[in-house]
Amino acid sequence: MEEYKRLANIIFPDITLTVEDYEKKYPARNLKDGAIVTRYAPSPTGFIHIGALLASFTGSIFAKQSEGVFYLRIEDTDTKRTIDDGINTIINGLKEFDVTFDEGPTDENNESGNYGPYIQSQRGDIYKAFIKHLIMEGKAYPCFCSEEEMAELREYQTKKKMRIGYYGKSAKCRYLAPEEAIERIENGEKYVIRLKSPGNFENKIRFNDIIRGQIEMPENDIDIVIMKGDGLPTYHFAHLVDDHLMRTTHVIRGDEWLPSLPLHVQLFEMFGFEPPKYCHISPLMKNDNGGVRKLSKRKDPECAMSYYHELGVPKEAVMLYLATVTNSNFEEWYLQNKDKEIEDFKFTFDKMNNSGALFDLDKLTNLSKTFISSLKAEELYDRCAKYYEEYDKDFYNLFTKDKKYSIDMLNIERETPKPRKDLGCYGDVKKEFWYMYDELFNSAELNYEFKNITDKEEINKILDLYMEKYYDPKDDNSVWFGKMKELCDELGYASDMKAYKKNPEAFKGNVADVSMVIRVALTSKSMTPDLHEIMAILGVERIKERFSKLK
């Protein structure tokens, strides 16, 4: 053991704090029983995508609902992949969807919480103390193999059809005597530090993943690199140190890390620490070419959060959808509790999908329609104004020119017990209601969608008589409709649908055909929200003007 100690001191002469010192510095957290301490641990490599939002939402909701702690840890030990402003991108990107942290970096330079630093590149000495400890115990060693030697080993193993990796007899530096290692270090040779794995690949170990259930895998026997040539730890080792010292109870992360589980559990055992509970989240999947594949950051635009921003999908709708992905029974609950917050639903691990949910944009859109339909018109107006100001200045100007007019328009069929659900995003307001704005209606190449009545003379006859004799803006819906029927009677159309169905030949058409003429004349569309409300908002002058356009 003395020679291991010497080796450790030669490698880390300046590391004086020990594992025990750090154990004391970061004591067990004082939380109530069952409180979940979990983290979101991204590498600062780019924009927030929907899978990242799902993982961070899942962590935050379980921590919050158990009165635990949700913290942010930045995993930037792979300096080649780190981008400028990556930390702010993560924090702001998540905040936009109301995912916030109890502890962790608050921007590139500041952080909050007693278990930091929360940025791995600032934790170098802590990792070194843990690595030093392993070396002193003969559980880790310096490896001097060059890239060429590693390539040769790979080639040899491939040729011999062996498992690829630095393990067993192939792990040649594992067998170097400490004295020899010291000599080579003193001679200035380059090295990394590897774990001396006590595992045997022939043995099977069993774990209980909170989401996946019982899993059996071979033990890890690979002597992985735990400290790279640049003095920084690898992800696996940093995960052990951080999740232990930050007193993490649950590791909630993407299932791409599932194969690393034997190694991670082994690392905890080598230190005699209790491993956290592991919860591996299945990725979002997508139908593609008859098969199913993971939603991809590179190939699928709907993976990027900017996609929803640009369409004007409310952030709440995205979160409602992710809540549904997290617990499939959420949606049913939400539809009965639209006035409640997502957090009011009790999420459980056992309702989590363990095979990979198909990403369903239609479902997201439907949730969005339901959400938008539940907003007050004033609130929707403000959100739309903000959206159009950013994405469509011309429409923004029309939309905000007469605030009351736009709010009345958004209010059409909103207050009914079953509000209309035709807006899936703020961008749909222009698509659905453009004809309400004269500037758009008058400048568009109109495609009038007349149905059963198409004869121009007949159309004008209907419109003229209606305007002269029957339309009165003061009429409520039922009087208004009564007059529409009178118009029908006068012109030879059936005002009563039953009578029409019995004997269609006796009439020129029916009341639906006549009101369709008025609808299309005013909007050019055959499908619109409530015509009586539209007319009330357009007002007499506009109605007359639009009717005369058809002359």
* Between 133 and 253, CB nearer to ligand GLU: 253
**Residue 77 or 495 having the CB closest to ligand GLU:** 77
- What residue type is 430 in one-letter code? K
Query: Binding-site residue total for ligand GLU (CB under 6 A)?
Result: 8
- Residue of 239, 244, 250, 430 that binds ligand GLU (CB under 6 A): 239
The smaller minimum CB distance to ligand GLU, of residues 72 and 535, is found at 72
For the chain, the residue count is 551
Q: In the complex, what is the shortest distance from the CB of residue 47 to ligand GLU, in angstroms, rounded to a whole number?
A: 13
The one-letter amino acid code at 476 reads D
Decide: is 365 part of the binding site for ligand GLU (CB under 6 A).
no
- Cα–Cα distances (Å) from 385 to 371, 404, 410, in that order, read 18, 13, 12
**Nearest partner of 71 among 23, 37, 95, judged by Cα:** 37
Kindly tell me which residue out of 15, 48, 75, 303 binds ligand GLU, with binding defined by CB under 6 A.
75
Q: Residue 198, Cβ neighbours under 10 Å: how many?
A: 12
Smallest separation (angstroms) from ligand GLU to the CB of 257: 6
Q: At closest approach, how far in Å is the CB of 28 from ligand GLU?
A: 21
Q: How far apart are the first and last CA of the chain?
A: 102
Distance of closest approach, residue 356 Cβ to ligand GLU, in angstroms: 17
Q: Which of 191, 201, 257, 405 binds ligand GLU (CB under 6 A)?
A: 257
Give me the least distance between CB of 293 and ligand GLU, in Å please. 19
Choose between 243 and 432: whose C-beta lies nearer to ligand GLU.
Answer: 243
Output the smallest distance, CB 62 to ligand GLU, in A. 14
Q: Which is nearer to ligand GLU, 257 or 268 (CB)?
A: 257
Residue 132: CB atoms within 10 Å? 23
Query: Which of 147, 83, 129 has its CA nearest to residue 237?
Result: 129
Residues 6+ apart with CB under 8 A from 280: 209, 211, 212, 253, 254, 255, 257, 258
CB count in 10 Å sphere of residue 115: 21
Q: Contact at 8 Å (CB) between 77 and 238?
A: yes
Side chain identity at residue 459, one-letter code: I
Integer Rg of the chain from CA: 33
Smallest gap from Cβ 261 to ligand GLU, in A, equals 11
Residue 382's contacts (CB-CB under 8 Å, 6 or more residues apart) are: none
Task: Considering the complex, state which of residue 208 and residue 442 has its C-beta at the smaller distance from ligand GLU.
Answer: 208
Binding segment for ligand GLU (CB under 6 A), chosen from 105-113, 133-141, 251-259, 283-291, is 251-259
Closer Cβ to ligand GLU, 42 or 509, answer by number: 42
Q: Shortest gap between Cβ of 518 and ligand GLU (angstroms)?
A: 59
Cis peptide before 529 (omega within 30 of 0): no
Choice between 251 and 364, CB closer to ligand GLU: 251
- Count Cβ atoms below 10 Å from residue 125 Cβ, excluding itself: 13
State both tokens at 252: 């909630």
Closest distance between ligand GLU and the C-beta of residue 67, in Å? 22
Which residues touch 374 (CB under 8 Å, ≥6 apart)? Answer: 338, 339, 419
- With respect to ligand GLU, which residue has the nearer C-beta, 180 or 256? 256
Compute the Cα dihedral for 285, 286, 290, 293 and give only its sign.
negative
Q: How far is the CB of 515 from ligand GLU (least distance, A)?
A: 58
C-beta of 260: minimal distance to ligand GLU in Å?
9
Nearer to ligand GLU, 42 or 142 (CB): 42
In whole angstroms, the minimum distance from the beta carbon of 22 to ligand GLU comes to: 20
Q: Where are the beta strands (DSSP E) in 169-224?
A: 192-195, 204-209, 213-218
Helix axes 261-271, 124-136, angle to 10 degrees: 70
By DSSP bridging, strand 111-112 and strand 104-105 are antiparallel
Closest-by-Cβ residue to ligand GLU is 253
Q: What minimum distance in Å lies between the beta carbon of 240 and ligand GLU?
A: 10
Return the closest-CA partner of residue 498 out of 511, 489, 508: 511
14 DSSP 8-state letter: T
Q: Which of 49, 194, 236, 253 binds ligand GLU (CB under 6 A)?
A: 253
- Cβ-based nearer residue to ligand GLU, 132 or 236: 236
Q: Which residue spans within 83-163 are E strands per DSSP?
A: 104-105, 111-112, 140-143
Residue 74 has what DSSP assignment? B
Element of type H or E holding 23: helix 19-25
Sole window of 14-22, 249-257, 455-463, 508-516 interacting with ligand GLU (rule: CB under 6 A): 249-257
Q: Which is nearer to ligand GLU, 280 or 430 (CB)?
A: 280
Structure tokens, 41: 């641990």
* Subset of residues 28 to 67 that bind ligand GLU, contact rule: CB under 6 A: 41-43
Instruction: Tell me, residue by residue from 493 to 522, as one string, x for binding to ligand GLU by CB under 6 A and - for no binding.
Output: ------------------------------
Q: What tokens does 57 get?
A: 């939402």
According to CB under 6 A, which residues from 376 to 405 bind ligand GLU? none
From the CB of 277, what's the least distance to ligand GLU, in Å?
A: 13
Which residues touch 397 (CB under 8 Å, ≥6 apart)?
none
Phi, psi at residue 195, to the nearest 5°?
-80, 140
Q: Which is nearer to ligand GLU, 352 or 425 (CB)?
A: 352
- 40/441 with CB nearer ligand GLU: 40
**Sites of contact with ligand GLU (CB under 6 A):** 41-43, 75, 239, 251, 253, 257
